[in-house]
Structure formats: C-alpha cells, structure tokens
Structure 1
Amino acid sequence: MFDVSRRSLTLGAATACVALGLEKRVTFVDPAKAQQSDPQPYRKYKIGDVEVFSLIDGMRDAPLRDNMIRNVDFERVKAVLRHAGFPDNRPSRFIVMAVKLRDQVVLIDAGTGGHPIYGEGNGRLFASMAAAGLDPRAVKTILVSHLHGDHIYGLMHNETNAQLFPDAEIMVPATELNWWTRPGVESIDLGPTRKGLARRIQATIATWKNVRPFEGEPELVPGVHAVQVPGHSPGMVAHLVASGGDQFLISADVVNFSPHISINPEWQLAVDQDPQMAVETRKRIFDRAVADRLIISGTHWLMPNAGKLAKDGNSYVFTAEV
C-alpha cells in the first residue's frame, strides 16, 4: 500500500509535457516515502477548537483496467502513474471522518461496514475509533455525503440491515435520497459494487425514522456546513468544518483515485455517475481550496489524507499535513 508523504518527486517539464500535455511541471508523491505503510489507524487534526479525525476503515489495491479513465488512453494513464512512482494498480483507502465537538462525536459517512464487495480487511471503523479514543456511543449525528455503499454500509448490519447507530440523527442530502428512491432506479446498471444498492437504500435509510433529509448548503451542526459537489453521485455534498479562522474541507469523492489528486483534474473517472459534471465540480472545489487555503481531505486518498493544494499550471500540487 502506498501512502502520501510531504516529500515529492518533480517530473521534468519535458516528461510532464509528453505524459500530460501540460505547460508546467507536475509534482507527484515521492515513491520512496509513499511506500511506507502508515501504522496508525487514524490521524488527528486540530481546526481551531475542533478536532477532526481521519479513521481508516479499510484499504484495497485494485489493478488498473482499461476504461477506468474514460477520456485518456490506458497506456498513457499507466505511463503517468509509473513516472509518478506508482505501480500498475489502484491503491485506495476507505476512510471515515469524524469531528469532535465538545462531548459529542459527529461522523461524516460510516464506511463499508465490512461488506464483502469491498474485499477483505475492511469494516475497521470501530477499531479505529477505539484507537483514537472515540466512543461510538458518543455519536449523536452522522452526516452522509452520498449514498454509495462504501459510505453507508457501516450504518447497518450486513445480514439483517439493523441499524448500528440507532440513537444518532442521520442527515442526508435530499437530492441524493430522492435520486436513489425514484421509480426505476433499481434497473440502472451502475457497476458491480453498486448492484442491489438502490433496493438496500429503499429498505433501510429511506424508511428509518432518524433520517433527516436537507436541501442546499445549510449549517448541519455548529461549525459544519454542507457544500454541494454533484457528479460522482447526483446529490453528493462535501462538509466544510470551520473554527477559529481555520477551515477543513472534507471532500468525500470529489476525486477518489488517489494518484489523480495532483495529476489532471480533467480525467473522467468511470466510477463517477456523471463524469463531466464531476470534472467541473473537481476544478471548482480544488480552486476554492487553493484560493481559501483550505485543508482538504478525500475519502479514498492515501494517508495522511489531509493537506493543502497549490495550483501548478493546469494541475495541482498536494502537500500533506503530517
């Protein structure tokens, strides 16, 4: 498993131009440092008076495959990743974010729940919470970014669908919930990991009494606002944590292919339900992160999965917070 570090490998302008068609250099993760596995099951960040946690729920290496990037030739994708020091696979984490507000814990998404569709070694949320000193019983609010299985299956038991956080209020974007419960959505082919997802949402989240849909970009809990980021999923939101002049943007799946963070925001990922909209959202959010000097994180980014972005030509440079 590859993990992000502060050090970086800078490609020469000629190499970058050939690989990416960019006018300026592109900065990637230092592969020597990146190969050091992070032994910690969590990372903690201080945002003003608030603590934000990245909790590892699992990890997976998936082979690169043709058409994974829809608008870039497969050989070019492999060449770019090799230049950056990545192997011919797709290293990924499953990460749940948590915000500690005084005596309560707010979860942002709930992870895979150990569902077998996501491979072995997932469903580690409770263990990572324990390592971080977070009590699941203190979770009174769960903010859902979108309704893909690796973000919501941790809300329910795999076999019975019983709630794992029955006393928590679950806040879900109304646009997202409406899309997954509309007539005929069950017949749409969204790939193997989303097979049966709509029916499971309709049997669980859509019927639970502790689910509260919301519209727009409200303040969901004190200091945490929703930010609309559609594309990967129709109604996906990010969550902006603000305290004491500091801001931390939890960007969900604005981009979920880890080496893609610093490469080319215009790559269209096959896992995005609306790839072109996802590109537009990605560039808007990344530009906002640069302009406002936000700390930004992503659900599937490699650890540490939080840091700052800087613009570099047509791409971005990610510097991790360690």
Structure 2
Amino acid sequence: MINRRDLLVGGGAAAAAYLAGSFVPLVAQNAPNFGAPSVVQVGFRKQKLGDMEVIALNDGVVRRPLAAEFVRNAPLTEVQELLRSQNLPTEYVDVPYTAFLIVAGNRRVLIDTGFADNGPATTGRLQANLNAAGFTVNDIDTVVISHHHGDHINGLRSKAGQLVFPKASIMVPTVEHAFWMDDARMAAAPDAMKGAFQNVRRVFGGLGTDQLIQFQAGQEILPGVSTTAAYGHTPGMVTVSAQSRGEKFAYLADLTNVPQLFARNPDWAVVFDMNPEQARETRRKVFEMVVNDKVLAGGFHFPFPAFGRIEKLGNGYDFKPVA
C-alpha cells in the first residue's frame, strides 16, 4: 500500500507544499487589489515551419500575487529585483496560457488545451482564437497533452462535462497518466491534493482506448511530431517537437512557468515543480539543446505570442519573442 511518505517521494515538493498548506490551486483566481490583467486582443500567431504551420492560441492570462513561496529556493527580494531589472511589476506576476496548433497537410494537432469554461474570467479564450485563426473545434483530429495539470487538460471538457474537441483522439504520456490515475496514490494524498487527482478522472473518465491513446516519451507519435521526456515539473511531463524540411519547433510546456524568472535563473524552483531537483536538471538540459540547435521555441506560459528563440544569458537563458 502507498502511504504518505510514498506520495511525498513520488510527488516531491508539490505534495510537501500541499501538506504545508501553501500550495496555490492549479486553477488560480486573479489576484485581488492589483486590477485585471490585460488580455491580448489578437490571440493567435501563425508561423511557417517547412511544409507545416504552427499556430499559437492564447487562452488568456491570470494575475497572481507574488508571494515568498512562489520561488521556493530564492529570497523574495532577489526575485523582485530580477523583475524590477526587466521593468516588470514586483507585487504580482501575470501568467499567460498558450496552446499550440500544428497544421500538417490534413492533420490538425492541438498541444494542450487551456481551461475552456472551467477557469477564471480572464481565461477560456482558446476556442474563440482558434476560430479567428480559421479553424473550429471539429477540425481538431488530435490533442496531445504534455502533462496533467489542470490548466493543460481542463479545456478537453466543458464545465458541463461535454468534450470540447469531439472528433479528436487524445494522446497522453504513459508515465504521467499512470501517476495521476493511480487509485492508491490518490487515496494516500492529503486532502488538498485529492482534487488534482479527481480532476484528471473528471477529464479523462469515460474515454475508450480508441480515443485515449497513451504514448511513451521519446516516440514519434505522428509523422513529423515527436516527444521527449521532461520529468520534474510533474512525474511524466513531455516536451513536443515538430519538424519539416529541416525546420524545427520545440514546445517546452511548463519547462519554465515564468521565463523572466526561471529561464534567467534555471536553478530556481517554482512552487508547482513536483520534483524541484529533477525539474532543474531538465530545465538546463532542454534549454541547452534549444540554444545549440537554434530551434524555434514556444512555451505554455511564455509571454504572447509565445514563439521565440532561447539565448544564453550569464548563467541562465533569455527568451526572445518573435517580432
């Protein structure tokens, strides 16, 4: 039987934070007293990639207070100073949510989903931006999930429980899915963490094996589309890459939740990293690969348009958005 110690070993810092009562819910509400965040007016951006097209689709943004626990291993004053040096607010952070659509021939592959109508009022814009980009939910034939945190999977189902992309196969990483679907692990979880396990069951429950397809990290899951293990943020998170005619795009998922902080200081640990040390090693390894290969990169929480290049900067890295 799995006990609380097993859960902490498997869940790392995030589980410990739950037990300490400091974990911020995955579906965060906008911070009071700081005003509403600005929502991008044109929430899609298209980029050619050989014979493919990659489209960033913004789902919205959440403004959250910058508390001491947000960066778990650095003083708040140091975090604020780094934000101040980039002319960014120091009392709160704005966290955007951007999924990506790969258009390859007659394939329409969506990577991660945002919130649908399950999140704060400043989220849930993916479908409208998908329509503005020239597509509908019925055009999506495949949804690839990088990991099972709520802001990445909740957009699969509406609050009423209906599938948002009814014609799509849903592909999930085997290691990630096994962790969150483990009934014994859920039973051993502290009460504050049970909701995350239950939400995974709400989203994926009732899907048959013909619609819910598991894959091993490292596989080419579709022609020109492959995945790489990026464990640490969660037990089984993957990054996703697309390649066509020598051009490559790397979707980095939650490798860094706020690039202005965790790209520049890749050894810092965000509160959401479930295994901070593994996440740190993964962050440096993947950033180094992206820099060396000079590939176009995108991240779920990168500032919109969420496309750009990663460059070395001191002991860390810097995200340079596309113009």
TM-score by length of 1: 0.83
Counterpart of 1:197 in structure 2 is 196
Tell me the percent identity: 31
**What's the offset of the Cα at 1:37?**
7.2
Which letter maps to 1:140? D
> Given that residues 217 and 226 in structure 1 are in contact (C-alpha distance below 8 angstroms), is that contact kept between their aligned partners in structure 2?
yes
Which letter maps to 1:39? Q
Which letter maps to 2:217? G
**Residue 89 (structure 2) pairs with residue 80 (structure 1):** no
1:8-47 counterparts in 2 under 5 A? 38-47=40-49
Counterpart of 2:180 in structure 1 is 180
**What's the offset of the Cα at 1:121?**
1.8
Q: Distance in 1 between matches of 2:248 and 2:46?
A: 15
Q: Distance in 1 between matches of 2:204 and 2:88?
A: 38
Q: Distance in 1 between matches of 2:318 and 2:260?
A: 11
1:1-322 counterparts in 2 under 5 A? 38-88=40-90, 89-116=92-119, 119-159=120-160, 161-182=161-182, 183-185=184-186, 187-189=188-190, 196-209=195-208, 210-322=211-323
Q: Distance in 2 between matches of 1:92 and 1:168?
A: 28
**What's the offset of the Cα at 1:173?**
0.3
List per-residue Cα deviations over 1:78-132 (Å, max 9, x = no partner): 111112111021111111110011223110011112313xx21211111000111
Q: Distance in 2 between matches of 1:301 and 1:309?
A: 11
Q: Which runs of 5+ in 1 are unaligned?
A: 1-34
Change (3 A) 1:166 1:39: closer
Change (3 A) 1:102 1:284: same
Following superposition, which runs of at least 4 residues in structure 1 exceed 4 angstroms of deviation? 35-38
**What's the offset of the Cα at 1:40?**
1.4
Q: Distance in 1 between matches of 2:311 and 2:150?
A: 31
Q: Distance in 2 between matches of 1:257 and 1:186?
A: 32
**What's the offset of the Cα at 1:270?**
0.8
Instruction: Give the CA RMSD over aligned residues.
Output: 1.9
List per-residue Cα deviations over 1:115-169 (Å, max 9, x = no partner): 13xx21211111000111122211111111011110111101213x222223211
Change (3 A) 1:37 1:196: closer
**What's the offset of the Cα at 1:185?**
2.2
> Given that residues 217 and 227 in structure 1 are in contact (C-alpha distance below 8 angstroms), is that contact kept between their aligned partners in structure 2?
yes
Which letter maps to 1:56? N
How many residues are matched? 283
Q: Distance in 2 between matches of 1:288 and 1:200?
A: 33
Q: Distance in 2 between matches of 1:167 and 1:309?
A: 35
Q: Distance in 2 between matches of 1:212 and 1:190?
A: 30
Q: Distance in 2 between matches of 1:237 and 1:124?
A: 24
Q: Distance in 1 between matches of 2:172 and 2:128?
A: 25
List per-residue Cα deviations over 1:262-303 (Å, max 9, x = no partner): 421111111111111111110000000011001111101111
**What's the offset of the Cα at 1:261?**
4.9
Counterpart of 2:16 in structure 1 is none
Q: Distance in 1 between matches of 2:314 and 2:181?
A: 41
Q: Distance in 2 between matches of 1:195 and 1:128?
A: 32
> Given that residues 186 and 199 in structure 1 are in contact (C-alpha distance below 8 angstroms), is that contact kept between their aligned partners in structure 2?
no
**What's the offset of the Cα at 1:207?**
3.6
Change (3 A) 1:263 1:158: same
> Given that residues 176 and 234 in structure 1 are in contact (C-alpha distance below 8 angstroms), is that contact kept between their aligned partners in structure 2?
yes
Q: Distance in 1 between matches of 2:136 and 2:126?
A: 11
Q: Secondary structure at the match of 1:226?
A: strand
Change (3 A) 1:154 1:234: same
**What's the offset of the Cα at 1:184?**
2.7
> Given that residues 259 and 318 in structure 2 are in contact (C-alpha distance below 8 angstroms), is that contact kept between their aligned partners in structure 1?
no
Q: Secondary structure at the match of 1:184?
A: helix
Q: Distance in 2 between matches of 1:106 and 1:305?
A: 17
Q: Secondary structure at the match of 2:204?
A: coil
**What's the offset of the Cα at 1:69?**
0.7
> Given that residues 232 and 254 in structure 1 are in contact (C-alpha distance below 8 angstroms), is that contact kept between their aligned partners in structure 2?
yes
Q: Distance in 1 between matches of 2:56 and 2:159?
A: 23
